[in-house]
Structure 1
Amino acid sequence: MTEPVTANEADAEAADALAASTSEASLRRSEERSRAIEDQIAKDPSVFRMLTGDRPTGHLHIGHYFGSILNRVRLQDAGVETLVLIADYQVITDRDGTGPIRERVHSLVTDYLSVGIDPARTTIFTHSAIPALNQLMLPFLSLVSDSELYRNPTVKAEHDATGGRPMSGLLLTYPVHQAADILFCKANLVPVGKDQLPHLEQTRVVARRFDERYGRVDPHEPVFPQAEALLSSGSLILGMDGTKMSKSKGNTIELRMTADETAKVIKRAVTDSDRFITFDPVNRPEVSNLLTLAGLCADRDPAEIAAEIGDGGGGGLKKYLTEALNEKLAPVRARRLELEADPGHIEAVLREGNQRANAIADATLAEVREAMGMVY
């Protein structure tokens, strides 16, 4: 068992790790490793356990669908053991209340099932129902300093955006809570975007420090694995106003919307004054965003769609996108209507997922307590 590092040494280690996780060279390594992981999944998916999830702050939209949800279904169907976290406790990291939390949690589960997530193969669970997961926060918090928490990009951005408003302790410790999410189930694979790599690195730091400080009976087998990033290859879809897609901005198309509601939202979408449609992400971001979305729906090259629409203008583009998106989502919406008619099934899926997650969390906490000498 090694001696614990000092606070200054820990801060230096964390700073180096954070800098490394965001450097260009590190991003290239992460991309290369992601490709290697995909090859491993094709050969033997059973070596991976994947953790992913969402905050229930609203309803899932097409940004989630194309950006992450379809990839979850793909990995599940490939045979990767999958856990999907509904991070209900994280709703209050930056909010004064939970809002209609029950409705939103049930809506998330309904969306998950409607797009193809199979509760027989994927464990769907909530933060608040897994006491042992949250108890891991206590020993994990002892492994990090306040200064490295403040350096976390998400915490720093939220702090800068508060305008002087005090930051909650839960928001400050958000990176550690996320580490507990990943480590409670010993996930070794986490799908992330490039901007989330620092969070995963913080998790890796916590895992290493725990083993350095407490060790275990077999020093060659650490308590926690070093979780790896599977970088998302999904396209970034902007909102219908040309800015970042956000539930708070009201610029999204939710999966639960009807075909008519979808058409109305797309009709209001921002384009530009040039009638001839071209795919030019740099100079025509709004038009190109709609073309990218159309390409994802129709499984076609956006430039090819642009050439086909030509001088049909924004109206022609919006008509094409409306038809393509409604066709793409038609089976999802049909399945969603069936699920909404059976709320008992949604509750049963969540109850069974929570039971499975609790069994995993209890076993991990028992192992942690043993490593810390806290079994009495």
Structure 2
Amino acid sequence: MNSHPQAAPAEAPSAPDAPDAPDALGTSAARARSAELEKLIAEDPGKFRILTGDRPTGRLHLGHYFGTLHNRVRLQNLGVELFVIIADYQVLTDRDVADDLQSYVDELVLDHLAIGVDPERSTIFTHSAVAALNQLMLPFLSLVSVAELNRNPTVKDEIAHSRQSAVSGLMFTYPVHQAADILFCKANLVPVGQDQLPHLEITRTIARRFNDRYGHGTPVFPRPEALLSEVPLLLGTDGTKMSKSRGNSVILAADADETARLLKGAKTDSERHITYDPANRPEVSSLLLLAALCQGRTPEEIAADIGSAGAAALKKTVTEAVNEYLAPIRARRAEYARDRGELRRVLRAGNERANAVAEATLAEVRAAMNSDY
């Protein structure tokens, strides 16, 4: 992995009528723009740099994989430059302490290597290891008002579900920290879900305001764009949202037997004939969708194959599909897990690369702000 900073890709070509207004990243506009961006990626992937990642708060599961992880590998393999942040500092946004942090960081690295993120082409790094990234927080905070942070709907929701007895300053400034994550490497593309659009809008606002205030006619930061994708709605085995904390998911690290046990206990319904009907049969439909994603078929085709064979046949079909799909991922994971020294090497190399990029960006920021003394 190259440990020296590279020139950041230019800002992604803008849509003709893409204003930098508060609603510029509304869902309908973001979806239309995402379709355009996919075409631009196919034409010239080298123009794009992506920042994405996860908080190390537990093992990743099938919901994470089909929701975001496989898309990261797809974009990497297309030739997009990929930065994957393991956001260890951000664990503290909604909890008092970061429990089992070292092991969870290792698990995240393992999962990314197992699914196909290539450390020779992509950069995997930890938040806490990149001091220059975190140093961007202070000037960025000066560019947003308390009122703007206070009305961010995503922050409101996170505060409502916070595990802390009182809301910390880190929770309140979470969108600005994310802006630092994205802008330190001058990412111009961020794969997000619909609920994260307000966070990205703050990042775009910070980039624009910094450029206006300090750019002297030459933008320092691109205004990153959202890459929305259709995220499949996979329910947990209890019929509720699949979650690390609810114990209702099939984790990527599970073996074939554990997967079979978990799926055998998955909630279905009393109707014997299997049909794909997400509105009226959400649990059955979620299982059909999972099998379909693994087999590259439609849920309706899977349902037609099972017919009136009932829930037991459905679970058997899903289990076989999941275990077959995950077999090569599990094999790679086991191989990497045998050499923890390799995990440390991958992370050290990624941290070195991220630090070089962050320090170059911070130097630009200091020069723009006339504070490079």
Alignment TM-score, normalising by the size of structure 2: 0.93
Question: Could you say which structure has the higher helix fraction?
Answer: 1
Out of 318, 327, 330, the residue aligned to residue 315 of structure 2 is: 318
CA contact (8 A) 2:200 2:226 kept: yes
- Residue type matched to 1:249 in 2? R
Q: Secondary structure at the match of 1:84?
A: strand
CA contact (8 A) 1:18 1:198 kept: no
* 2:120 aligned partner: 120
Residue 59 (str. 1) matches residue 59 (str. 2): yes
CA contact (8 A) 2:89 2:127 kept: yes
What are the Cα deviations for residues 292-318 of structure 1, in whole angstroms up to 9, with x where unaligned? Answer: 001001111101111111111111100
Q: Quick one: distance in 2 between partners of 1:81 and 1:156?
A: 32
- Residue type matched to 1:297 in 2? C
* 2:367 aligned partner: 370
- Residue type matched to 1:41 in 2? I
* 1:177 aligned partner: 177
Residue 206 (str. 1) matches residue 206 (str. 2): yes
Q: Secondary structure at the match of 1:247?
A: coil
Deviation of 1:105 (Å)? 0.4
Residue 135 (str. 1) matches residue 135 (str. 2): yes
Q: Secondary structure at the match of 2:309?
A: helix
* 2:81 aligned partner: 81
- Residue type matched to 2:234 in 1? I
Q: Secondary structure at the match of 1:60?
A: coil
Deviation of 1:17 (Å)? 4.6
Out of 301, 304, 310, the residue aligned to residue 301 of structure 2 is: 304
Q: Quick one: distance in 1 between partners of 2:165 and 2:105?
A: 28
Unaligned runs of 5+ in 1: 1-15
* 2:287 aligned partner: 290
* 2:100 aligned partner: 100
Deviation of 1:59 (Å)? 0.7
Alignment TM-score, normalising by the size of structure 1: 0.92
Deviation of 1:28 (Å)? 2.0
* 1:269 aligned partner: 266
CA contact (8 A) 2:184 2:361 kept: yes
Out of 237, 240, 252, the residue aligned to residue 240 of structure 1 is: 237
* 1:361 aligned partner: 358
Percent of pairs with identical residues = 63
What are the Cα deviations for residues 26-67 of structure 1, in whole angstroms up to 9, with x where unaligned? Answer: 322211111111111111101000110000000111111111
Q: Secondary structure at the match of 1:52?
A: strand
Q: Secondary structure at the match of 1:41?
A: helix
Q: Quick one: distance in 2 between partners of 1:89 and 1:17?
A: 30
* 2:275 aligned partner: 278
Deviation of 1:124 (Å)? 0.3
* 2:332 aligned partner: 335
Q: Secondary structure at the match of 1:249?
A: coil
Q: Secondary structure at the match of 1:311?
A: coil
What are the Cα deviations for residues 65-89 of structure 1, in whole angstroms up to 9, with x where unaligned? Answer: 1111111001000000110000000
Deviation of 1:164 (Å)? 9.8
Q: Secondary structure at the match of 1:248?
A: coil
Task: Output the aligned Cα RMSD.
Answer: 1.4
CA contact (8 A) 2:189 2:227 kept: yes
